[in-house]
Structure 1
């Protein structure tokens, strides 16, 4: 039984009655989303999982002779420690988050995953921070390097403007988005695999874009782009095989076959995901949304066990659950 099947079975059992709470907690401990039995701070022996009138139904308790009873929450030191949402609702939320990062709050409110939009936003922020931290660890290890001398893969680069849309042309513009709304994208294409690097930039000058390309693209990589003058002559000088397409004349260069359709499609998908998120008006949140999209492609989809398994792994890593 794979991870998704285990979760479906667990959700089905817990919906039938609250008497399955103990098995739910033990499953969380087995998957290392909750810490195991803690040590009593008085007698230094393992505490026991004991039934208690709380939202979880159980607490860690030590009532040995010689000292007063010592208790501890089953959520202590975990992702759920600052939340009152039931663990089964957290599990359902994590499962949906791993399905593609396209969360509709109205659907989750109807399914009673949380009682308010504010609670769902807090849950989303907590998971988003874990994904951002995991991507930062990957960047420290690998530098998010892409491309190479292989002819089977190439890098498509482009810039796109992200602007907050006002509903019915009403409401204030956010100054951060109006001033710093350009996003520079690099997309490695190899068969069906897509690995993006997305950076918010102040402008589209050569001094801004070329250092980003050199940081992430290996020397000798094949790069496809439009005829934006910031790339002209600069990329071949740094050891890249650079091909261009003039969009004022055609979409595909008839001589080289160069095109930017992969990254143009990617922009449409990325903007759709960002616009569906609530609270997407600030530059910092836009940056986090872009990092989550990169986490999904670099880590989530590259995990052989699936995106959900990768998310569980990153939660354990973030909260140091052994």
Structure 2
């Protein structure tokens, strides 16, 4: 594939389903807010200004330290605008972002409503200005434990609707078990929310199986280590369970040593529904355009393949039918 074809692929309109709002914060924004509030973020940034971390556990601590400067709904409005400016610049026309009531008001429902209103109002203004549509997916934080997950699920259930469309779980996959969070996921399911959870990034195929069998999710965040169990891969394909794959993140964190070793092409070839996302893009030095360019160069994926992945992403998005129809028309752009 020549560079003109790769450039065309990178410019395609895109759907992104796996994006952590705080994890997408430009370092300059976090540094600026920290300076305004006189917060010392020593150790959070590298000399070149990027986020500094050595491994996944360290990444989580840096993530939470950076997030810690975001203390008010106004801070989250600024964050949302900055993230959507980056999404729009990368051709994203629809995005679902993970939001945690633990970070937005400490799990208090009244405070959560205030944060959510600021995020939503900013997103709606950004859609008018930049043409990128955002929807929210509440996430509980696995290493915060099941009790806080229930509080997060209550916040999600009480604010579910046309904008807050899903519930999921992020955090440290090596802490606890998927089954520990079944009550929270049952609450979200009863509220009509779409369900996803991180699984199969650090733990193996059994973690993915627990996600789909115990929690009953229709999407799995990452899920790539399912490839180690051929029977599970076949089941994912048969049941239409979608994987929110973040290739650049997986390589940056060392799940796979290089993109050519990543199983996304194998999974797609076996009929598993996969989409492409950036996860926490400034942490992992990636953008949606970078992901598309790298996939094109590594696997020879042309515009037809990536259009197919975007249609799959939209089909498995948690938005309502009217939004899906509207976004589908935008994906038809040559």
State if a TM-score over 0.5 links the two structures.
Answer: no
TM-score (norm 2): 0.26
Between 1 and 2, higher relative CO (CA 8 Å, sep ≥ 6) is seen in 2
TM-score (norm 1): 0.26
Structure with bigger helix share is 2
Larger Rg: 1
